[in-house]
Structure 1
């Protein structure tokens, strides 16, 4: 039975909440702990499902994990790393895509690794081809193991390589970093992703003893070392969650103080937030997002890899754009199928049309591939309550924002998927004055 959240909308969100470490960094740093010969400690760890899944995967592979959830402190001791059973990995990993990133560290530590069928949010093509190709370049042997997974081995060890990505993929960049640091010799990656979460992962690896340099032209160079130690690190704040609450404040006409939010990683979002008509106040403790009253303004927006406008910011902001004067254009260039969530918004009264063409910007790689990757949002349109189903993590939070904005009572089905990336989101909603209740479907 799927979880259902009853939302009585139409009231502004007002109050303050706290955001902790970035989902897209913390899980990768946990994987990096496998590379060390001594324990690692990470602070500012959020209590989300993805952390629980990766902790379980590490424990299956012999890592001793201790997690003080209230304090946000996670300790990992990889001294007794061992192989896990294929069935155990498959059963525990569920929809997580993290197991693919365990391959490099496990090949270094144990000489073999196993990847189950990968899940995750169905927002576009996320092939593992890049990952497998990178691992082969280092000398890994990849063979089909079962209909549901792949077995890898490194009988001769892993050796540094040169690699250039066709697109600056975050996952592929993480794969290369986690594999190259202990590979023999030098590795060079061109057209690398340079997101803040990647840079924080590099900082962790450097603390462990890795030799990594990042050039201004998206080139990362790694000199392999013989051994790494554990790390002690405080995770950077989750810029996606912070922006999501900011968009919720804008859409509902409210004011939300997000403690823990940091300006440097959010400058592109903050510029856009201001262009739409929102206001914000930055303090040492966080960022206060405010709808100052008056009309919101339509914009033309294009998502891009860092330092561009993050794709994960797009969906929550689109809800706010339904309340803006005029025609907004949003061109999605990172994931080709990220506008599926707009069908629920149209059901609630939003005027949104999606297109195959590249609107409002330069042509992108999806323009000739028949994907609906551009959207035109005409507003302002009052939203009315509806029964809707969560499609994926970020789309699900956008549905939640829409339900909070809409007049009337909405039933949002499958709401628990939001626990993957938003810590205690129900408690935070209540702290902001939202009228919500979990009900039996």
Structure 2
């Protein structure tokens, strides 16, 4: 939210917060340059299409310029997007779509510079059902001339929620079968009120925490329909849940059991659920596996887990089903030998979801743990230390040094 607010204010919008509600007034948006924003987040790329519609120009930071991106198995020129260091996150999907819709884009080491008098509708076939690329095309197509067809679009609840919001603002969008979205451009959009969906990553994180620590946690407002694959996996490993009037209650009734996980785009097992869920598999007796098919380099946190007492092998082979990383030399699968007797230690957090997993490990381990790099956790989980203390955890936040 901080990054989004920074973008909006940079281009001239006013943003106010009150009682959990954000109000945005975009009447005075005059600045197309947002290139001086923080490079720590890939969200500025999503501002390109709205700025092109509004001002005909856009300039946002090239947030991948200082990152050692790994190529996928099909070599080609690509632009990287920062965020967590999970492997290549190409924005060429975004840029090629915008170019096909009429944008002229120049990529420098510091920024993406785009121009367009008008964007026009076309057919966009995404090479992969990327959430960010789907959102970019949606934001570009709602005010473009003509009709835009998005093939192989992402179908995550967050994408559907964006579509719902855009429809309230006057957009004409149809969801078809087989990951196809049809957008008929309109002349203008108007303001609206919209309640965003609950954070399903956060709901899963607290579910894992409850099961790992043998606790009992009610996650208010959590939606079971957004967590179907996760809830099934949680029950398979020995966790349990109960849907209540005001949320979902998570708990555990017996020993944890080994399981095989394979990440995939929605409605599959979400890649962001993978690091916290790995903690449960570490605690289960027997052999578990995780096959990561979304990012080719998402197991950087495993060495830290092994240092804390886990027995996890990182392997290059696909487990269960062949995926797009097969034969590419990517360490995208793990084999877990449990159970693990975790011990407290000094822990360094590499990214948001792995950071939450490390926090669960620390709360499960015997003894005291000291966690550094908590800014990664803060990016994804608001006031996490305060909420954990309310649940009975002994967590103290201290400034470095």
* TM > 0.5 fold call: yes
1:392 to 325, 343, 351: 351
Q: Which residue of 1 aligns with 2:9?
A: 59
Q: For 1:326-337, what aligned pairs fall within 5 Å after superposition?
A: 326-337=286-297
Q: Which residue of 1 aligns with 2:53?
A: 108
Greater share of residues in strand: 1
2:112 to 150, 170, 179: 150
The answer to whether the Cα contact below 8 Å between 2:316 and 2:330 also exists between their aligned partners in 1 is yes
Q: Relative contact order (C-alpha < 8 Å, sep 6+): which is higher?
A: 1
Q: Which residue of 2 aligns with 1:362?
A: 321
Distance, in Å, in 1 between the alignment partners of 2:33 and 2:22 is 24
Question: Do residues 263 (structure 1) and 211 (structure 2) align?
Answer: no
Q: Which residue of 2 aligns with 1:427?
A: 386
Query: Partner of 1:200: helix, strand, or coil?
Result: helix
Query: Partner of 1:167: helix, strand, or coil?
Result: coil
Query: Partner of 2:24: helix, strand, or coil?
Result: strand
- What is the deviation of 1:164? 0.6
Q: Which residue of 1 aligns with 2:257?
A: 297
- What are the Cα deviations for residues 81-124 of structure 1, in whole angstroms up to 9, with x where unaligned? 111545xx42x333111111001010000000012122211112
- What is the deviation of 1:426? 0.8
The answer to whether the Cα contact below 8 Å between 2:258 and 2:281 also exists between their aligned partners in 1 is yes
Change (3 A) 1:241 1:66: same
Q: Which residue of 2 aligns with 1:121?
A: 84
Distance, in Å, in 2 between the alignment partners of 1:386 and 1:358 is 32
The answer to whether the Cα contact below 8 Å between 2:45 and 2:60 also exists between their aligned partners in 1 is yes
Deviating above 6 A after TM superposition, structure 1's stretches of 4 or more consecutive aligned residues are: none
Query: Partner of 1:408: helix, strand, or coil?
Result: coil
Stretches of structure 1 lacking an aligned partner (at least 5 in a row): 1-50
- What are the Cα deviations for residues 358-392 of structure 1, in whole angstroms up to 9, with x where unaligned? 01x21001112111110111111110111111000
- What are the Cα deviations for residues 39-97 of structure 1, in whole angstroms up to 9, with x where unaligned? xxxxxxxxxxxx122112101111111111xx2101001111111545xx42x333111
Q: For 1:192-341, what aligned pairs fall within 5 Å after superposition?
A: 192-292=153-253, 294-341=254-301
Query: Partner of 1:437: helix, strand, or coil?
Result: coil
Stretches of structure 2 lacking an aligned partner (at least 5 in a row): 64-81
- What are the Cα deviations for residues 320-341 of structure 1, in whole angstroms up to 9, with x where unaligned? 1111111001101011111111
- What is the deviation of 1:258? 0.9
Q: Which residue of 1 aligns with 2:341?
A: 382
CA RMSD of aligned residues (A): 1.1
Structure-2-length-normalised TM-score: 0.93
Query: Partner of 1:412: helix, strand, or coil?
Result: strand
Distance, in Å, in 2 between the alignment partners of 1:284 and 1:242 is 16
Distance, in Å, in 2 between the alignment partners of 1:167 and 1:83 is 32
Q: Bigger CA drift: 219-228 or 409-418?
A: 409-418
Q: Which residue of 2 aligns with 1:25?
A: none
Q: Provide the aligned length of Structure 1 versus Structure 2.
A: 382
The answer to whether the Cα contact below 8 Å between 2:346 and 2:369 also exists between their aligned partners in 1 is yes
- What is the deviation of 1:272? 0.6
Query: Partner of 1:297: helix, strand, or coil?
Result: coil
Query: Partner of 2:397: helix, strand, or coil?
Result: strand
Distance, in Å, in 1 between the alignment partners of 2:322 and 2:33 is 46
Query: Partner of 1:436: helix, strand, or coil?
Result: coil
